[in-house]
Chains A and B, each alone.
Chain A
Amino acid sequence: MSVTRTTELRRLADGGRGRVALGVLGALVAVLAWSAVSGSSENIYFPSLLEILERTAAYWPTPEGVDNLTASLRTLGAGLGLAVLVGVAAGLLIGQVPVVAQTVSPALEFVRAIPATALVPFAMMLFGVGDEMKVFLIALGCVWPILLNTADGARGLDATLLDTARVFHVTGLRRALGVVVPAVLPRVLVGVRIAVPLSLILMVTSEMVGAQRGLGYVITQAQATFQLLTMWSGIVVLGVLGFLLTTAYSALERLLLRWCDPKRVSS
């Protein structure tokens, strides 16, 4: 009896619909468990889930909440966009011109090893506590994984591909956009995938140390004034934001790589 039941369960977990059903069940159980444990909680630091959700619904749709959210998203988008632009451009250059790679790679290794948040004070000294500081910091932290992956991809370009381009006299801009960029794209996307969570960390950190707006600001401010429900609601919103960002990015990645040979993407 129990043997057949476990095999049944196993088969269920392997199928697509079964997986979704089990996952939904898991999420439901987790939420119920959280609200059950926290519902009767006397500990002020861990308020009940229901109250947190009520506060989330009450605070974040207000003009102030929306303002904080959009401020965060704007800096995130600008910083990440800048990182992608600079990272891809520099990565292509470094990957394709061996002299440049040799000259700068030890310096790159060093700068990359510096933990991105150690540069928060540096960015604050340069730009003060404005939006530029946050965008600069996010871009500075996120550019390395993108740059290094792009450079690796550009270095490992398929020789047959390049030779074919030469035979057909594909040169200049057409070669760059039509041959090199599509071939490097999978690696660029891997770099961005590493950069996305990093950008969230940097966004929150920069907002915690120097800002009057944004998600990180709301969370620290709520902690300082002991509004624990608002603090928790900020954490929940950040969790949802992180989840949405990674999900949206996975979808984008699949869309962009549809033409690609899956074997080469994974290697």
Chain B
Amino acid sequence: MVLPTLARPAPRVPRRRPAPGRPRGGAVLLPLLALAVAVALQEALTRTGVLPGSYFPPASQTAAALLVELGGATFWQTLGSTVSTWLLALLIAVPLGTAVGTVLGLVRPVEAFLRPVVEFLRPIPSVALIPLVVLTIGTSARSALFLAVFASFWQVLVPAIAGVRSAHPIALDTARSYSFTLWQRLRWVQLAAMLPHLATATRLATSTSLILVVTAEIIIGIPGLGHEITMSRSVGNAARMYAYIVVSGVAGIVVNAVVKRLERALFVSHGIGAQA
């Protein structure tokens, strides 16, 4: 594959030098130890009543609450509805943002024409639309989906525009002298240049859309992790609340890892070293 490499920026000098003073072998042990100490300290402080147990239940109670939930039937349904809305939002927002961004990036007059509108709509915090969405779409999971798509669409759109334009001029000239069709140019020159931008955008969109889905669940009361967190608080079950907050964190880590894995697979197949 010769052409895609033309779109690659000049190789960068590796920045990170091996840190001389870094303690070796502590990569696993040290964090584990720190975690154990933190948990033990929290347990001790709440057991002895230094921290109010009703606000900060001992870690063991939170763990027990989590185990009870894991055994329950509703837990997986709750998790499933949050994660499926989240993934669906990404599946809609990323391709849509990429497609619109590509068009705007290629057709400069249209982009200049629409830029102020984009710049106005983009910073509107999409949670402000919640009341409107409740009135028009209702209180189903589709409301959460709409909010998450609205929020992450802009985060993909703007980098996509920049990405299309970041194609190397020589690569574009080469494509022209080989009389590439528009599709060939997009596929082999511009997409390759866009990928690093899209990767960052996707990662941002991933966390934004989770925030929006959980917010919608908390405020609108759509079934899901966010709803369980507020419900636990309002019935005064702090341990269950922390258990669900932990679950939302774990879900965040897992989906981030999946997105990162996909990103790397995509980069490898396009011959660009995955840059974090």
Contacts and interface: CB of A to CB of B under 8 A. Distances in A.
Interface of A: 9-10, 12-14, 18-19, 22-27, 29-30, 45, 98-99, 102-107, 109-111, 113-122, 124-126, 156, 159, 194, 197-198, 200-201, 203-205, 208-209, 215-216, 219-220, 222-223, 228, 231-232, 234-235, 238-239, 242-243, 245-246, 267
Contacts of A9: 109
Interface string B44-61: 000000000001000000
B245 A45 contact: no
Contacts of B233: 121-122, 124-125
A13 B104 CA distance: 12
Contacts of B131: 219-220, 222-223, 231
A239 B125 CA distance: 7
Contact of A122 (B30, B124, B130, B245): B245
A125 B56 CA distance: 10
A243 B123 contact: yes
Contact of B225 (A102, A118, A246, A267): A118
A105 B219 CA distance: 31
A238 B129 CA distance: 10
B11 interface: no
Interface stretch (B13-21, B89-97, B183-191): B13-21
Interface string B214-237: 110011000001100110110000
A265 to B, nearest CB: 14
B71 interface: no
Interface residues of B, number: 70
A124 to B, nearest CB: 7
A26 B34 CA distance: 56
30 contacts: A9-B109, A14-B108, A19-B115, A25-B113, A102-B22, A103-B30, A103-B31, A104-B34, A107-B34, A107-B35, A107-B38, A114-B248, A117-B218, A118-B244, A121-B241, A125-B233, A126-B55, A197-B125, A215-B128, A216-B127, A216-B128, A223-B131, A223-B134, A223-B135, A228-B135, A232-B132, A235-B132, A242-B125, A246-B119, A267-B12
B109 A238 contact: no
A18 B114 CA distance: 13
A133 B182 CA distance: 54
Nearest to A116: B211
B17 A105 contact: no
A9 B226 CA distance: 49
B121 interface: yes
B27 A113 contact: no
B26 interface: yes
A215 B124 CA distance: 13
Interface in B114-158: 114-117, 119-132, 134-136
B111 interface: yes
Nearest to B118: A26
B55 A26 contact: no
Most buried by B among A98, A114, A232: A114
Contact of A208 (B114, B130, B136): B130
B245 A118 contact: yes
Contacts of B238: 125
B27 A118 contact: no
**Main SS of the interface on chain B?**
helix
A125 B230 CA distance: 10
A1 B38 CA distance: 74
B182 to A, nearest CB: 15
A111 B249 contact: yes
Interface in B74-118: 108-109, 111-117
B273 interface: no
B256 interface: yes
Given A201-B212, A209-B230, A243-B123, 7 more contacts: A19-B112, A121-B230, A122-B242, A125-B55, A209-B218, A238-B125, A239-B124
B4 interface: no
A134 to B, nearest CB: 14
A205 B241 contact: no
Given A102-B27, A121-B230, A239-B124, A27 B116 contact: yes
Nearest to B130: A208
Contact of A201 (B116, B127, B210): B127
B132 A119 contact: no
A49 to B, nearest CB: 13
B262 interface: no
A153 to B, nearest CB: 11
B126 A201 contact: yes
A251 B247 CA distance: 39
Contact of B210 (A14, A103, A115, A198): A115
Contacts of B248: 114-115, 118
Contacts of A106: 31, 35
